[in-house]
Structure 1
Amino acid sequence: MLRSRLTAALAAAGTVLGGAVAIGFAVSGPATAASTLPAHVSAPYFETYNGDSLAQLAQQSGNKYLTLAFLQTASKGSCTPYWDGDSSMPVDTSQYGSDIDTIRAGGGDVIPSFGGYTADNTGTEIADSCTDVGKIAAAYEKVITTYDVTRLDLDIEDNSLTNSAGIDRRNAAIKQVEDWAASNGRTVQFAYTLPTTTSGLASSGLNVLRSAVSHGARIDVVNIMTFDYYDGANHEMATDTKTATTGLQSQLAGLYPNKSAAELWHMIGVIEMPGIDDYGAAETFTTADAPVVEQWAQDKGLAALSFWALQRDNGSCPGTGGSDSCSGIQQDTWYFSHTFAAFNGGGTGPTTPPTTPPTTPPTTPPTGSGLVNGDFETGSLSPWTCTGGTGSIVSSPTHGGSGALELAPTASDNATCTQSVTLHANTTYTLTAYVQGDYAFLGTTGAATDASTWTNAGGYTKLSATFTTGGSGTVQVFVHGWYGQGAVDVDDVGVS
């Protein structure tokens, strides 16, 4: 994220004076346990470099969720991140731990952010600075475990967009962390924050995502900075947000062809800069733009809506562009925070499986089932459909008979197979299946009351999920594995 040029220059000077830092991390206990972020989250950026109280500003502004900017190394070549690259601000609960506890006590949470303009410009972004992928992954894991967070934001711009070695190291490290999280039953999401044009990512930003795909790194959210276009044009910022985001959705469709349109929209986040941005008055995000963008983000089902930065959300400096401490327009204090807060809502569900499978309440169901080919004895998938060709019929291993369904998840596809089933309306049923493998999921969508369950089993294990149909009686039954994990075998699926 761009800070003012003066602030960036001063920070860069401080980085040089900081000297070399030894690789390694202090040991500290985690902050209060995090909850899963909502499916649609507004988390404005908090500037960690200006000495403000995180908890106090969260309370004053009414923000439940905040993104903490930034983490970077103290000097080029180091593998140890610090808050704002300041070696006196280590990754430790002594820094922001109590503030995060206070925010969580109020039902909120935080998203630590690596990188930013200064780091990306001075070679102190962790993957540009450190040439050891394992140590980059360890740095990410240290932040995750110290603050017990469920999402990291990686702000990549300026020189970091063209450092191909750093791009590849970063994505390789993301993959390592995701594997570590999956093996430890921990929820971890990664978000990239990238500059944009008014029609979508430039080729440099798109290359960051292409590298992620090639390394098998799952990217959950792609935030675009819908400001600082630096194209010499006058901008209507709400309109340009829509065109930039629509362009990104189309670009993501090319990278993730197995995702639905709704899933692609839900990979996208928008970051605005309230008031007059670094470029000047030609790029002014007004108080009239904010509710338009917020409603549009809701309508499209975006994952995130944010702004740079919380400390700018006031009108104390009319006419000033690119300030870190005010918006440069006439506005009520916290206007943008309050407007974007309406975006918060929903639940993401786990990005990595939980450690304990949910239990299914006992029930005495009615009989009857519209499910077909649940034993996979026909030798064909039909009428099941599977994403991206990830499902196939196998003769071994089976739970019984001569056929079973085998799911083959990839880094970008959890191998979902579904069947539309029509049952009695407004009736409670139990869905069962025998499964084996890493992270096998079973459930329904489209019911009045949906249900899902999962297990991690070395041999065939019975799963049960109770659901209630709606007025149409039609539901989608699904089975799937998990991203980048092993094969899952499914047999004898039934509804009773």
Structure 2
Amino acid sequence: MSRIDGRRLSWGRVLFVAAVIGATIWAGLHYWTSNRDAARAAESGHWFGAYIDATSTPFYPIAEDVGKHERVVLGFAVANPKHPCAPSWGGYYSMDAANETFDLDRQVARVREQGGEVVISTGGLLNDELATACTDRKKVVAGYEGLLKRYQSTTLDLDVEGNDLEDIASGLRRASAVAAVQQRAAADGRRVEVWVTLPVDTGGLTASGLGEVHRLLDGGVDLAGINLMTMNFGETRGANQSMAAASEQAAKSAHGQLLDLYKGLGKVTGEQTMWSKIGLTPMIGQNDLRGEIFTVEDAVSLHAFAMANGVGRISMWSANRDAGCGPNMPESERVSNNCSGTDQAKGEFGMLLSSGVGSASWSTEPRPSAVPVPEETAIVDDPAKSPFPVWNPDAAYPESERVVWRGNVYEAKWWTQGDTPDQPVADVVATPWLLIGPVLPGDKPAPVPTVPTGLYPKWSASTVYNKSDRIIFDGRVFESKWWNQGESPEAALQGAVNSPWLRLSNAQLKKLLDAPVSKYP
């Protein structure tokens, strides 16, 4: 028995009071922990970034309609099949070749001009991730760093699937190399954000996927998050379950798995913080498996789920496919690289999935305390540093001709003369110029190849020309598209589509001149 102020208290009352005090303390601790968890989750930020298949043809204009603070996930940087320790795009293009073939450097610069950022995604299903093909860890580190430096990116997305996911040795090498990349960046005062993208089914991550996360964390990688490929669920999806519902089930399952994994590694994290470390990436429209179609209605549902749970990232595969297929696609249940195979407006999936994502997590720049010195906005193009001729209002430009105007490179979409490249228009379709991107530091004038005397005969009105015959007209080389006689190549210079002549571009002519003489027709 106990006595307080002369009164006796039963042991039952003592225990009751102790229980109340304990519950109060527990509630306070829970409230504090929950608030701290929520604060940490909010600090981590949230972002949207659509994947773009960089090497899929026709080449996608990656800088098109990129919003401020939006990310573009550029895939896939993989090992060069001939030089395993050298990164390439899709196994086809070196970084230099990608720039020469589809202006990748200039397009990335254009993304940054619009306030966006490029995320470098390595791996994918069809090729070897760099750490799988290259066994030299130092060269793997150099490969990752070379990609990030070339495209001025601060985010690395490791897309690990297929055979790469089953290769434990390459997984350990990848973890060690990525940790080194982050450590070297930190020493220079920079941060490299790393995500790992993995397949899931409705039961969550596979054992191999969990193993990859374990290796990265155990290897010292500061992992920003785990991006779940919510697609191709197969037999794990219920008969009447929508793709959105299956995706949500997969996300919940993976969330629980990751909480346990982090706890087992001594990296205890709260439920909300864990949601901020999860990304969701559906395959829009027709998936690889028949019967699995992620519709615009699914996009609305998955977006609502992601926002409600504070998911850290939303992506989609892919921006290349964010359009309806049209009547020339006879079988919509076949996957296309260039359309979704479902009813949609152009760009509709990207609009639905990105809505409001990241809008509250980006801090505004502080206002300056004093009025800054006005910046000169007029741009004077320097022909000595311009990779293409500076636009001239008196010159005529045929289709595909490139010019420089006010610090940017433009390409003629059709024959044009006197149309200013940056002239304001109500509809981008109305302008004859396509904005490629800015003039880059280090750009130099592209040499204009000179046609050697006698390489081909001069055009003659009396000569009969067959298909593939080549002639010289006005200092340029033309190739006959079909049999013709007496039809001047002048019309081809002006962009006439019905002209029997095709003008060879400077690039085509340079390739021709660089070839052995025996290859000349």
TM-score (norm 2): 0.56
Contact persistence 2:199–2:229 (CA under 8 A): yes
Letter paired with 2:180:
Q
Show the 5 A alignment for 1:83-482: 83-90=89-96, 95-119=103-127, 124-231=128-235, 233=237, 234=239, 235-257=241-263, 258-281=268-291, 283-316=292-325, 317=329, 319-342=332-355, 343-347=357-361
Amino acid aligned to 2:120: P
Tell me the equivalent position of 2:73: 67
Structure 1 residue 145: Cα displacement: 1.4
Q: Distance in 2 between matches of 1:221 and 1:75?
A: 29
Q: Is the 8 A contact 1:290 1:340 kept in 2?
A: yes
Equivalent residues of 2:67, 2:114 under 8 A apart: no
Give the residue type in structure 1 aligned to 2:230: T
Kept after mapping to 2: 8 A contact 1:190/1:221: yes
Distance 1:43 1:315, change over 3 A: same
Larger Rg: 2
* Cα pair 1:319 1:328 within 8 Å, conserved: yes
TM (norm. structure 1) is 0.59
The structure carrying a bigger helix percent of its residues is 2
Kept in 2, the 8 Å contact 1:54–1:99? The answer is no
Q: Do 2:203 and 2:236's aligned partners in 1 also have CA atoms closer than 8 Å?
A: no
The alpha-carbon distance between structure 1 residues 56 and 200, as it changes in their structure 2 partners (threshold 3 A), is: closer
Conservation of the 8 A alpha-carbon contact between 1:213 and 1:255: no
What do residues 151-197 of structure 1 show as CA deviations (whole Å, max 9, x unaligned)? 11111111111101011000011110111111011121111110001
The AA in structure 2 aligned to 1:180 is: R
CA distance in 2: counterparts of 1:348 and 1:221, whole angstroms = 18
> 3-state SS of the aligned residue for 1:117?
coil
Q: 2:47 touches 2:70 (CA, 8 Å); kept in 1?
A: no
Percent identity, please.
Answer: 29
Q: Which has the higher strand share?
A: 1
Distance 1:47 1:292 in 2: 25
Deviation, 1:232, is 7.0
How far is the alpha carbon of 1:64 from its aligned partner? 3.7
**CA RMSD, aligned part only?**
2.8
Contact 1:321 1:327 in 2 (8 A): no
CA separation of 1:164 and 1:300: change in aligned 2, threshold 3 A:
same
CA distance in 1, matches of 2:136, 2:362: 32
Aligned ranges 1:17-56 → 2 under 5 Å: 39-52=45-58, 54-55=60-61
Tell me which moved more, 198-207 or 243-252.
Answer: 243-252
Structure 1, unaligned runs of 5 or more? 1-36, 350-357, 362-496
1:256 shift after superposition: 2.0
CA contact (8 A) 1:77 1:129 kept: no
- Distance in 1, matches of 2:314 and 2:104, equals 23
Q: CA deviation at 1:319?
A: 2.3
Q: Provide Cα deviations, 1:4-49, integer angstroms capped at 9, x if missing partner.
A: xxxxxxxxxxxxxxxxxxxxxxxxxxxxxxxxx9921111111111
The structure showing larger relative contact order (alpha-carbon pairs under 8 Å, at least 6 residues apart) is: 1
Deviations 1:407-448 (CA, angstroms, capped at 9, x unpaired): xxxxxxxxxxxxxxxxxxxxxxxxxxxxxxxxxxxxxxxxxx
Report the residue type matching 1:276 in the other structure.
Q
What do the CA deviations read for 1:318-377 (whole angstroms, capped 9, x no partner)?
Answer: 72332111111111111101111212334478xxxxxxxx9xx9xxxxxxxxxxxxxxxx
Equivalent residue for 2:386?
Answer: none
Number of residue equivalences:
312
Shift in alpha-carbon separation, 1:38–1:57, aligned structure 2, 3 A: farther
